[in-house]
Amino acid sequence: MEWKLELILFVLLSVMAVFSAIMMVTRRSPINSAIFLIINFFASAGIYLLLQAQFIAVIQVLVYMGAIMVLVIFVIMLLNLQDESKLSEQFSYKKLTSLLLSVLLFCLLGFSVFFGFSGKFTSISGEAEKLGTAESLGKELVLAYSVPFEIAGLLLLAAVVGAVVLAKKSFD
Amino acid sequence: MSDLFYLVTLLPLLGFLVNGLLGKKINNEKITGIIGSLMVFIPFLIASVTFFQLLSFNPEERSIFVNYFSWITAGNLEINYAFLIDPLSMVMVLVITGIGFLIHVYSIGYMHGDPGFAKFFAYLNLFIFAMLHLVLADNFLLIFLGWEGVGLCSYLLIGFWYQHKFTGEAAKKAFVMNRIGDVGFMIAMFIIFANFGTLKISEFLPQLEGYPLNDGLLIAIGLLFFLGATGKSAQIPLYTWLPDAMAGPTPVSALIHAATMVTAGIYLVARTSLLYALTPVTTQTIFIIGIVTSLLAGTIAIKQNDIKKVLAYSTVSQLGFMFIALGVFAYHVAVFHLVTHAFFKALMFLGSGSVIHGMKDEQDIRYMGGLKRKMKITFITFLIGTLAISGIPPLSGFWSKDEILYKVMSNAGTVYYIIVLISAAITAFYMFRLVSLTFYGKARYNEEKIHPHESSVMTIPLIILAVLSAIGGFIGMPHFLGVPNVFEEWLAPVFSKSYSVFESFQPSVEHSVSFEIILILISVIVASVVSWYAFKKFSKQETFEEESGFGKVLENKYYVDEVYDTVVVEPIKNVSDKFLWNIFDVKIIDGVINGIANYFSKLSFDWRKLQTGIVQDYTAISVAGVIAIILYLLLK
Amino acid sequence: MIQLHELQFIIPLITICVASVLVLIVEVFSRNREVVFAVTTLSVFVALIITIRDISYSTIILNNFININNVSSGFNIVVLLSVLLSLLESRSYLIKKQINFGEYYAIILFSLIGMMLMVMANDLLIVFLGLEMMSICFYILAGFMRKRIKSNESALKYFLLGAFMTGFLLYGITLIYGVSGTTNLMVLFSNTLLHQEPLFLIGVGLFLIGFLFKIGAFPFHMWVPDVYDGAPTIVSGFMSTAGKIAAVATIFPIILKLNILDYRIIISVVSVLTMMFGNIIALAQTNIKRLLAYSSIASAGYLLVGLAAFNDMALRGILFYTLAYSFMQLGAFIVVGIIEKSSSDNKDFSNISLDSYKGLAKRNPVLATIFTLFLFSLAGIPPFAGFWGKYYLFVAAIKANLIWLSIVAILLSVIGIYYYLKVIVYMWFTDPETDETYIMSPLGTTAIILSIAGTIFFGLFPEIFFELIRFY
């Protein structure tokens, strides 16, 4: 029963994620795009929850939906962005090729992943449930994964410096 | 001991780099000269110390192998940057650095005021660097590197005063002639690697021991190496470059074209002496070529009027003597004559340089004369050199030449002895002609314009070399005098195997002591009589007539250059011009190549269109690539 | 658990980390760029010396995340060398272009951290973090001339394509993790059962694709000319050497150790196409930076020839080629940077068309000679290091019975000689159109001398490098 509920939830959330992703890319108004992005993040957070990764789900909601998206919408509002103008709407072989290539790639990867993993997974173990908590995640990060954790810190520092360099109005 | 030995080769390189790169910035002849000289002198000191250390070992242990690093590794081919320090290479190193140092010092005076002063010292250092590799390497490829290096330096230094057309041509001639010999060297290397699987001398020579006498393979290798040797050591048929090489500055003639580089061929044969001992046929070839070259060059020298040309032909002739020694299986004697010749020939070249310098670049002995009083030191030292080369006892040349004559007598026979003796007499004749015309008689130059003089930087090396020329021969005195022949003993471990091979097919003839003394007396008498005759004949000569008959043939060097021109150079020119260039090259080769090139440039312009500059296109192409790779991985 | 003494093995890395933060701090308190420059250069130099000193270390440390051995240290030496050389020339170039900001040095150091981590990584996580760290810095460096449109275009293109391709790389890592349950490389190497798993193969394939993009192999090479063309010249040189070498140093040993021969066909085909595109399109170039970009694509192709060999000789050739390549490619870019004008207008680079090289030998013979040497080495003419680089790579392919591949590679590199010679002909055999001369700064000259020395020295004594890193 519970398994069935999970399945239904998963299908629902996945459809939501894919649909919102497509909508986000195709909308012409930035605000609409941003809203679909929020929906997309929300759906992902739901999938994390289904995977027993409570902490990441919460962080996803807090950081991405809460902080980043607010910032994005602020920027859009402040800059008063116009709707994307029509660049080239006419049908071209280039577009068709790109579409075909994307579909082909999707099929290939989907096919290989589906048949590659089919029958290899068991239901979620109790251990996984424990791992999803903030406590165990924190322990792992600080003990076993401290090196990548530190490096990620440096990476963020580099990115911040870079962003400042590119965005600063003038030097000196 | 080998701890510091790497400096022996490193310092000349350093000198080359410093003077070559910074010479113009330093712009100070003294500093440049001192750097250049020191970078040869310190290696000389190190080599001397090494020499005495070697001396303290047992004779059999006097061969040290120093491996610095592996230079090239490719499959079976392994080339190490390694040196072999043994009695033979030690002798060569001492000669190169010792005489090299003296000539560097001399050059400070000689090249004074030349705009290319620093360049000159850089080239000299580079030459020393290359020459040391030639004699120290334990690997034919590394030897070849030195071999080509000295050839390059020789080319650069002959053409040092490139403003004159003839220096450039002389340099080119030397280079081309040497290249012909180098082909022989290279093919010999290829054959060795193909058949023996190694290029290391220390691995190659031991493999020879099982071979029968006159094996075809060994004869081929021996003759090819000898072809290389005739190029570098100026023997028939490749000797004509050496007289022309005198276009270079005189210190260069002394260092490269008398004392060191031209002896590379002798060194090569001596180093691989086992190969030649096993192939008497090759050795006989060397013998004949040596005799003919010494006679030919000696007779030409009689009629030359350029002071340096006389010395150049004399060098060719003396190198012929060394090959004669190699040709009678007397390897240590050849090296002995190499050393004494290095002393007195360097001395005479430097002396001639002093004369030329004092005479304001006059080189024709017909316009000299009577310099005896005005250039005392030059005269005395030059005379010592002349006496030495003529074979007057007890100067150095006497001991080495006499040893050659003796070996010819005992290993080749009386007929050959007489021929070589005539050649030695010719040497005495032209040398005394040279001395008489230059230093005796009356001045035949404009005494108001030219005031011959000497400078001290240049005379000190002369004095040192004169002392060496005088006493240098005592290291190799014959056995019957009761003194040990230290030179032969020193080299004995290097040549012992070759000598035992030689003795296996030709038992040594023991001559009585009185026979030896008779031989010596004959040669001394011949040399003295000829010298005296030449002195009498030329010291009073004041007018010079046009040569005619055979004298003209001699003056024109037997027309060898002209013969080479018509027989070899012109036909090749014709074929290359009319057929190879106009038909084969222009029509066939160029046609094909241009066709291919045009095809690719067209292709290039077509493919370039793929590079649209639009990111979406790039992405699409990338995705296509990803799809292709995944498809392959799925379907394979 | 991480032991404190383990840190002694990564002193070079720590030095660079400390220096990078130090540079940022100094930048806040002092406007003096000389200090920043000195700190940066010194730290790289110290790191280089220590890496050479500690070449014999061989250990896995920091919770199995970092693997130090002579191969990784050898590659680190090459990377540090190219960073050092580009730093030396950077200063005068940045001053000339009026963009001498302290952040430049900090970003160079950050990217260096990324590269070193990547090379020493023993875990896919570290590989990914290092790669991202390097890439993000490269995006910024490419757009460092903020007022120049071409520079901005270059940065944006690089960022878009880079982010897109990183997606594949990450997906590959995900698949590998999904199949094996680990990201530890040692475990992945030793678990041969895993190597037959199709999904694992696809995962590694996608991982490889991510790196093929970074080293500029066909068909993921399209960004290379555009980005190198638009980025500041010295940055192009830096990216095309240090960046490419770090990527090569990360992925090639991994592929070699996995030793799955299924990839051989892919790598061979990719290498042939890469060499073809690089060499042939370069023929039609009239812009020296684009020409060098295509030449670097061709170089990636040669390296892949060595990789396809999958034998002992392969790593040897790759190591040596990267060394030779760092000297000659960087040297060539430095010369291009010197010749480039210090124009104040912000539209485009000037003096980067081949025409500006006409008659260079008459105007500035030293510079022309130097450039000629680098081009000769790039063309693979002995006795320069570039010759031995190609030689070792092709020999590795021959040893692996890939004779067809080495013949194709040799033929294509012969085509390459044409466009290098074209530049040489322009420099030596045409008459100058201007009488401009170029100024070489002392530090830039040092960098050039070092590169020349390296090119010639390792051309004459190729084996010394292997002795240095104890790789036999």
Residue ranges of domains in chain A? 1-81, 133-172
Structure tokens at C467: 């002795």
**Max mean pLDDT range (A87-101, B109-123, B321-335):** B321-335
The number of residues in chain A equals 172
More confident residue, B606 or B378: B378
How far apart are the CA of A141 and the nearest CA of chain C, in angstroms? 12
Question: At which residue do the structure tokens 């041509």 appear?
Answer: B169
Domain boundary among B503, B533, B555: B555
Alpha helices, H only, B263-330: 264-271, 273-277, 280-302, 307-327
Task: Say yes or no: B606 and B531 in one domain.
Answer: no
Task: Say yes or no: B616 and B549 in one domain.
Answer: no
Question: How many Cβ atoms sit within 10 Å of the Cβ of residue C410?
Answer: 14
More confident residue, B315 or B481: B315
The answer, yes or no, to whether residue B180 has pLDDT greater than 70, is yes
Containing structural domain, residue B593: 562-635
> Is the N-terminal amide bond of C219 cis, ω within 30° of 0?
yes
Q: Which of residues 143-182 of B touch A (CB under 8 A)?
A: none
> Is position B388 within any domain?
yes
With CA atoms as reference, the chain C residue closest to A167 would be C146
The answer, yes or no, to whether residue C319 has pLDDT greater than 50, is yes
pLDDT digits (tens, 9 = 90+) for B222-238: 999 999 999 899 888 88
Res B385: pLDDT: 92
Residues B274-288 have a mean pLDDT of: 91
Task: Say yes or no: B575 and B502 in one domain.
Answer: no
Domain boundary among B555, B588, B608: B555
pLDDT digits (tens, 9 = 90+) for C174-183: 999 988 888 8
Contact between C31 and A109 using a beta-carbon 8 Å cutoff: no
The answer, yes or no, to whether residue B481 has pLDDT greater than 70, is yes
Cβ-Cβ contacts under 8 Å, A113 against chain C: 175, 199
Task: Say yes or no: B547 and B570 in one domain.
Answer: no
To the nearest whole number, what is the mean pLDDT of chain B?
86
How far apart are the CA of C470 and the nearest CA of chain B, in angstroms? 12
Which of C24, C63, C113 has its CB closest to that of A144? C63
Task: Say yes or no: B528 and B425 in one domain.
Answer: yes
- Contact of A98 with chain B, judged by CB distance below 8 Å, is answered with yes
With CA atoms as reference, the chain A residue closest to B628 would be A105
Residues B556-584 have a mean pLDDT of: 80
The number of residues in chain B equals 636
The residues pairing with B66 across neighbouring beta strands, listed in sequence order, are B83
Contact between C65 and A147 using a beta-carbon 8 Å cutoff: yes
Selected for mutation to probe chain B from A87, A88, A105, A111 (highest B CB count within 10 Å) is: A105
The residues pairing with B483 across neighbouring beta strands, listed in sequence order, are none
Q: Residue A120, exposed/middle/buried by CB under 10 A (0-12, 13-18, 19+)?
A: exposed
Residues C406-435 have a mean pLDDT of: 86
Q: Tell me which chains share at least 3 CB pairs under 8 Å with chain C.
A: A, B
Res A157: pLDDT: 92
Q: Which amino acid is at C246?
A: A
The answer, yes or no, to whether residue B198 has pLDDT greater than 90, is no
- Find the angle CA(C194)-CA(C398)-CA(B193) to the nearest 5 degrees: 140
Least confident span in A25-34, A149-158, C399-408: A25-34
Count of domains for chain B: 2
Structure tokens at B566: 């018509």
Which residues make Cβ contacts (< 8 Å) with residue C238, sequence separation at least 6?
C82, C83, C86, C90, C108, C141, C330
Task: Say yes or no: B393 and B497 in one domain.
Answer: yes
> Could you tell me if C91 and C441 are in contact, meaning their C-beta atoms sit under 8 angstroms apart?
yes
| Integer angstrom CA distances of residue C187 from A98, C184, C247, C252, C263 | 38, 6, 21, 17, 20
Domain boundary among B521, B555, B589: B555
- CATH number assigned to the domain covering A1-81: 1.20.120.1200
pLDDT digits (tens, 9 = 90+) for C105-133: 999 999 999 999 999 999 999 999 999 99
How far apart are the CA of A105 and the nearest CA of chain B, in angstroms? 6
d(CA A145, CA C123): 11
Task: Say yes or no: B441 and B387 in one domain.
Answer: yes
Question: How many Cβ atoms sit within 10 Å of the Cβ of residue C54?
Answer: 15
> Is position B402 within any domain?
yes
> Could you tell me if A15 and A24 are in contact, meaning their C-beta atoms sit under 8 angstroms apart?
no
Selected for mutation to probe chain A from B622, B623, B633 (highest A CB count within 10 Å) is: B623
Res C14: pLDDT: 93
Structure tokens at C402: 């890939």
How far apart are the CA of B37 and the nearest CA of chain C, in angstroms? 25
Structure tokens at C177: 């993790």
Which of C63, C106, C140 has its CB closest to that of A166? C140
Contact between A101 and B630 using a beta-carbon 8 Å cutoff: no
Task: Say yes or no: B339 and B470 in one domain.
Answer: yes
The model's confidence at residue C49, banded by pLDDT at 50, 70 and 90, is very high
Predicted TM-score (pTM) of the model is 0.67
Domain spans of chain C, in order of start:
4-468
> Could you tell me if C300 and C330 are in contact, meaning their C-beta atoms sit under 8 angstroms apart?
no
Contact between A105 and B634 using a beta-carbon 8 Å cutoff: no
The answer, yes or no, to whether residue C248 has pLDDT greater than 60, is yes
Question: How many Cβ atoms sit within 10 Å of the Cβ of residue C457?
Answer: 14
Least confident span in A125-134, B384-393, C461-470: A125-134
- Contact of C201 with chain B, judged by CB distance below 8 Å, is answered with yes
- Contact of C165 with chain B, judged by CB distance below 8 Å, is answered with yes
Q: Tell me which chains share at least 3 CB pairs under 8 Å with chain B.
A: A, C
The model's confidence at residue C347, banded by pLDDT at 50, 70 and 90, is low
- Contact of B617 with chain A, judged by CB distance below 8 Å, is answered with yes
Res A1: pLDDT: 42
pLDDT digits (tens, 9 = 90+) for B79-104: 888 888 889 999 999 999 999 999 99
- Contact of A105 with chain B, judged by CB distance below 8 Å, is answered with yes
Say whether B73 sits in a helix, a strand or coil: strand
The answer, yes or no, to whether residue C218 has pLDDT greater than 70, is yes
The model's confidence at residue B516, banded by pLDDT at 50, 70 and 90, is confident
The residues pairing with C287 across neighbouring beta strands, listed in sequence order, are C353
Res B113: pLDDT: 81
To the nearest whole number, what is the mean pLDDT of chain A?
82
Contact between C222 and B69 using a beta-carbon 8 Å cutoff: no
Element (H, E) at B67: strand B64-74
The answer, yes or no, to whether residue B579 has pLDDT greater than 50, is yes
Which of B72, B604, B636 has its CB closest to that of C462? B72
To the nearest whole number, what is the mean pLDDT of chain C?
88
d(CA B539, CA B434): 9
Contact between C284 and B608 using a beta-carbon 8 Å cutoff: yes
d(CA A20, CA A69): 15
The answer, yes or no, to whether residue C437 has pLDDT greater than 80, is no
How far apart are the CA of B630 and the nearest CA of chain A, in angstroms? 8
Q: Residue B195, exposed/middle/buried by CB under 10 A (0-12, 13-18, 19+)?
A: middle
Residues B587-598 have a mean pLDDT of: 79
Contact between A116 and C125 using a beta-carbon 8 Å cutoff: no
> Could you tell me if B190 and B199 are in contact, meaning their C-beta atoms sit under 8 angstroms apart?
no
d(CA B541, CA B551): 17
Q: Which of residues 89-118 of B touch A (CB under 8 A)?
A: none
Q: Tell me which chains share at least 3 CB pairs under 8 Å with chain A.
A: B, C
Long-range contact pairs involving B503-506 (C-beta distance under 8 Å, separation at least 24): B505/B213, B505/B280, B506/B329, B506/B411
> Is the N-terminal amide bond of B484 cis, ω within 30° of 0?
no
- Contact of B634 with chain A, judged by CB distance below 8 Å, is answered with yes
How far apart are the CA of A109 and the nearest CA of chain B, in angstroms? 8
Contact between A112 and C178 using a beta-carbon 8 Å cutoff: no
Res C114: pLDDT: 94
Contact between C284 and B615 using a beta-carbon 8 Å cutoff: no
Say whether B308 sits in a helix, a strand or coil: helix
> Is position B307 within any domain?
no
Q: What is the DSSP code (8-state) at residue A122?
A: P
- Contact of B626 with chain A, judged by CB distance below 8 Å, is answered with yes
